[in-house]
Structure 1
């Protein structure tokens, strides 16, 4: 490893360890050169590399400082070779974000929130995208604490998203709530998905038997929307963005937290995803899909007992 890369790695490592928090000032170039027994030009090169990676912010008149998102950037800089294996729930915005990251995020074929959690527990995935409401009224965190006990469970907040009824243009049946689905043909997500859990819960709250609602099972929000658009079913439960894509009407029912559940050891591999979630352009792209609130995207929560 060349000397300037060694300096980069040590400084990034201190930032990752929390020794240099966001906004803190780095020692001057001459001081660093003396500390690392090297030249000022080598230290300058190291700082330029860290600045290009978004780890620090440099200025002609001031010492370099740790960038506001320096912790995330430092993780990405130090572990660029890692791949984050992501399982779990289907979501159009998440598909768009992960496609933009190329090989840094590898989708794992575990369908639905429950399948994703199982894949993480079994070691087949590093994280799972989930949207599961616990009986306590809290989304996702109780499942992470329970299933990843001893793994330092964390949540990466992706976004808030709307789920509701996808209906043909003009909403010909005048649907307003899940109770209005009685007697209709409805597309239903497969068992194990968070949307199927939500669908069954809404029906039970409306005093309807989920098993008595007729209709095909689907594997994604887009497939549900296609069934509605083609006239195969009268309605389906899905996210607002797919309704916009296929010019369907949308009846909002819930806003839910959509998060990635992972153990603490997987945070370094998740750094590219975290960096993308902090990117203003990515957040704008997510919001413009419709039905998403990306205000707190990329927030990391360490879950206690």
Structure 2
């Protein structure tokens, strides 16, 4: 495999970039900052490898994720929605070489997030038309509802590999019934948290990382937000988020205990349990997160 820094060096020369500096790294990607010939700050998102695997997602095509990021952010930029504007997408001819997305670099002052304003922004997102012909990577080729049922069951089984006396999974027919009201009318981000929010004075400058995006609705988005808000580092105030959201979406949101919301929360709770049990093991958070997922499943089962 061609060394990533060799690829970056070649692309930096082609794109006339200077001051290449690492700024972050995750499961599938690393991010570098640089400056172009006009002195503008840019960011390069580099895939670690073409195909990846982890406890939550056993088959990850990083090229598909970069192409999706490029298409979604190009679409949202055209609609004036705050994202990192995509500039270039480099897809390597050799499958052993990494793919790279070049985007505008969005500044961040580290201020506390204004959750009310963030809720208003998410309402704007959900009112925009989704990109045409978008087939989200996370949907795995099926409808959003089918994808949610399949991954709840898959992640439930995977969690059971790490937790003793793990019970049988929720009935898939029950899950499907509770999720039957979830629509595919909007683009939902599904990874809204501090690490993916660039801001100044608490206001959002850009929502980053659209890898988890699906076609869905507010129930799906807020199911995830409710679970993310349990962790202080995500800096989310669920009540302020709801209040901000409903200033533009007057029909309101169902409570967090509504069956559809419980199912969407379970999807997120299992994902977080696997993060803390396997991907980033935490001896306290892991078992606690698994217990919480089990409690949500129990509550969901009672909603017949």
Does the alignment reach a TM-score above 0.5? Answer: no
Q: Greater share of strand residues, 1 or 2?
A: 1
**TM-score normalised by structure 2 residue count:** 0.22
TM-score computed with the length of structure 1 as normaliser? 0.22
Which structure would you say has the larger RCO, counting Cα contacts within 8 Å and 6 or more residues apart? 1
